[in-house]
Structure 1
Amino acid sequence: MHEVPDELIRLERSAEEERGRLAGLTGDDYDAQLRRWREASQAAQEAITAHAAATQTNRYELEQAVKKAVRHPPADPASE
């Protein structure tokens, strides 16, 4: 897999942050936050699809690489 573009990581991270904000919400607040999460997730998915098509890479593999980069970032050697 080629290097994952920073823009795709940023979009996926944004979607994950919006999903995290659902915790503890109810009613209208939950519904509004759910819409924000869906919009952010859709933007990330569309960008992944477009990048995969433009670079002729496997869309599934690209999506998995993006998710891995967001959920399991490499350790920062400076923090060890």
Structure 2
Amino acid sequence: MDIPDDLIALERAAEEQRARLAGLDGEAYEAQRRAWREAATAVQAAITDHAAATGQSRYEVEMAVKKAVRGQEEDPAE
């Protein structure tokens, strides 16, 4: 499956936001959690739009994006 670079960039950004949660607590954690949720929402919307525009399964597009990002690099939270 050919995954557009913008979907990969959005997923990578969401993963980076998630990784920043490590070691935080209190207000800092909540602020970072909101940033992560916003990034995750953006990638989910882009995946949904791409799947609809190309007639592909949303699930399959999402899994291909995740595989492309996670297969290229280590988990940023580790």
In the superposition, the TM-score normalised over structure 2's length comes to: 0.91
Distance in 2 (alpha carbons) for counterparts of 1:73 and 1:5: 15
The residue type equivalent to 2:65 in the other structure is: V
**1:63 is aligned to 2:69:** no
Over the aligned positions, Cα root-mean-square deviation in angstroms equals 1.1
Consecutive unaligned residues of structure 2, counting only runs of 5 or more, are: 74-78
Q: Rg bigger for which structure?
A: 1
| Count of residues in correspondence between the two structures | 73
Consecutive unaligned residues of structure 1, counting only runs of 5 or more, are: 75-80
| Identical-residue share of aligned pairs (%) | 63
- In the TM superposition, 1:1-80 aligns within 5 A as 2-73=1-72
Distance in 2 (alpha carbons) for counterparts of 1:49 and 1:10: 15
Distance in 2 (alpha carbons) for counterparts of 1:63 and 1:29: 29
In the superposition, the TM-score normalised over structure 1's length comes to: 0.89
Q: Which has the higher contact order (CA 8 A, sep 6+)?
A: 2
Distance in 2 (alpha carbons) for counterparts of 1:64 and 1:16: 14
